[in-house]
Amino acid sequence: MVNGAAPSEPISNGIHGKDATREEVILGALAGATQLAEQILGLVRFIQNTRDAPKEVLEHIASLKQLESVTENIKTNPSYQSQQVADVLSLLNAKVKAIADILSKVRATATDDKATAIKKAVVATWKDDNVTSRLDQIERDKTTLALCLAQIDAQVQNDHIKDLASQLQSLRRLQVTSSLSEEQWSDYCLAELFVKSPVDDRAMLIRTKGTRSAGTCTWYTVHPVFRAWQEPTSTAPLLWISGGPGRGKTMISIFLTQGLERTALQADSSHRQVIFFFCDNKDHKRNGASCILRGLILQVLARYPILVKHLLPEFKLQRSKLFEESSFDSLWRVFEGIIYHSPTKITYIVVDGLDELRTDALDVLLQKFRVLNISKVKAIALSRPFPQSISEAFCDSPSVRLDLDSDKEVRSDVNTYVRGGGY
């Protein structure tokens, strides 16, 4: 990350083959983002000025235009100004420039009027110079860039969470809370809130299960139930994915969280946020209902620290008892308030392994999920189809049954996993 580094600290080798100072990396990332935005703007204007441009050309250019908002995010967020991001921007710049150079050679002929000639030339160039293939390569680089930015976001969030946890011991030693400033109250509250880092839990699962094998899980993004649930017109707040042991539920959870993070980054960053939790019946910090809420709230507050003000009033009354299972209803009200006041338009919540919760914890959480009606929330719950209380709670929610609805796709993923040694 950029923040906190000494000015003369060298950065590890990038594609340029030499060490760079922090200032050089920042300048390189900023220059790369600016140059990319300018080249994209030039391409977009050229195609927009081409009368009756082919639909295929317009679709590719519209996809390319999405990079404009990404470059703006890079220029305004110092954490994104890293060597890795600068390297990907360099690759994108070279490929976009190559396309711009090809299209710049388009000229009108004497036999047609100018508009018709340019349209014909664009179509011919698009095929003869293999522009579509070049744009497909750019799409892959876009995905790489989005993944880089998502990893940086996760690291920033994780560092913030760890900083909060490290403050806990000193804050607990303060005997007279009446002397605490509002900032100290916030630090005290956040430190008590911390129980586990869902970001770390996901990283651990990826490390133990292996990286995703190419071609696995992607079928889910085009599943009709998932796509219908994602539509803005959908009124269903929760999607249930169920399957027996070994059906790849956790694989899909990881894939979905990372995919939704990439989508959020490619869109306006203020529109969407993704929070998640991975339950585990063998870990007492991951098998309680309040544990889930604490993990979700922590992720939101790591991104929007100002929202802690919606947690403080209740915390000042109950102190650490607010985060115990017996205070679940109080914490749920706080959670609703934080999501409601969050500046994002949509909050995606992914909870993996509901069946791993303790029975009492599962019962209270299902009561909330059964009537989930939090504005701006789209939730995905993954679990086995039992105990029966889960299927009863989600009987009216859209669902995908991995055992029945998608058996062929799941078997293919499992076979790929076995052959490739990764999920």
pLDDT class of 296 with cuts at 50, 70, 90:
very high
Q: Is residue 158 part of a domain?
A: no
- Distance between CA atoms of 38 and 30, rounded to whole angstroms? 12
Cα–Cα dist 145/262, whole Å: 9
Of the candidates 87, 206, 65, which has an alpha carbon nearest to the alpha carbon of residue 141? 87
SS3 326: helix
- Amino acid identity at 45: R
The verdict on residue 290 lying in a domain is yes
Region 166-180: mean pLDDT is: 59
Residues 133 and 204 in one domain: no
Which residues are within 8 A (CB) of 66 and not within 5 positions of it... i.e. 6 or more apart? 142, 266, 267
Query: What confidence category does residue 91 fall into, taking pLDDT thresholds of 50, 70 and 90?
Result: confident
Residue 160 lies in a domain: no
Comparison of pLDDT for 343 and 147, the residue scoring more: 343
Domain boundary among 78, 113, 147: 147
- pLDDT tens sequence across 68-90: 777 787 888 888 888 888 888 88
Is residue 32 predicted with pLDDT exceeding 60? yes
Q: 242 has which bridge partners?
A: 383, 401
Q: Which of 126-130, 198-202, 409-413 has the least mean pLDDT?
A: 409-413
Of 147, 166, 181, which residue constitutes the final position of a domain?
147
Whether residues 14 and 75 share a domain: the answer is: yes
The segment with the largest mean pLDDT, out of 154-158, 357-361, 415-419, is: 357-361
115/198 same-domain check: no
Average pLDDT over residues 117-124: 59
Flag whether pLDDT at 225 surpasses 80: yes
Are 286 and 219 within one domain?
Answer: yes
**Residues 410 and 288 occupy one common structural domain:** yes
The per-residue pLDDT for range 351-392, each reduced to its tens digit, is 999 999 999 999 999 999 998 888 899 999 999 999 999 999
- 141 and 199: one domain? no
Best-predicted range by mean pLDDT among 92-101, 207-216, 314-323?
Answer: 314-323
**Buried residues in 200-217 as b, exposed as e (16+ CB within 10 A):** ebbbebeeeeeebbeebb
Q: Which of 113, 147, 181 marks a domain boundary?
A: 147
Q: Strand pairing partners for 276?
A: 350
CA 93 to chain centre: 24
As a whole-number percent, the residues of the chain with pLDDT over 90 amount to: 35
Question: Domain containing 35: what range?
Answer: 10-147
Residue 179 lies in a domain: no
User: Domain for residue 376, yes or no?
Assistant: yes
Distances (CA, A) of 51 to 127, 165, 171, 185: 18, 59, 66, 61
- Cα torsion 108, 111, 115, 118: sign: negative
The answer to whether residue 360 sits within a structural domain is yes
More confident residue, 158 or 203: 203
In this structure, the answer to whether residues 129 and 209 fall within a common structural domain is no
Same domain (yes/no): 138, 202? no
Number of domains within the chain:
2
**φ/ψ bin of 3: left (φ > 0), alpha (ψ from -120 to 50), beta (otherwise):** beta
Based on the fold, state whether residues 271 and 345 are members of the same structural domain.
yes
Q: How confident is the model at residue 124 (pLDDT cuts 50, 70, 90)?
A: low
Same domain, 123 and 27: yes
- Is residue 176 situated within a structural domain? no
Domain of 402, CATH number, reads 3.40.50.300
What is the percent of the chain where pLDDT is above 70? 71
pTM: 0.63
Judged against a pLDDT cut of 70, whether residue 214 lies above it is answered with no
Q: Is residue 261 part of a domain?
A: yes
Task: Based on the fold, state whether residues 270 and 394 are members of the same structural domain.
Answer: yes
Q: What is the dihedral of CA 363, 296, 327, 167, to 10 degrees?
A: 150
Q: How far apart are CA 317 and CA 43, in angstroms?
A: 58
pLDDT digits (tens, 9 = 90+) for 180-194: 888 889 988 988 999
Same domain? For 87 and 224 the reply is: no
Predicted confidence band at 137 (pLDDT cuts at 50, 70, 90)? confident
The conformational region for residue 4 under phi > 0 = left, psi -120 to 50 = alpha, else beta, is left
17: left (phi over 0), alpha (psi -120 to 50) or beta: left
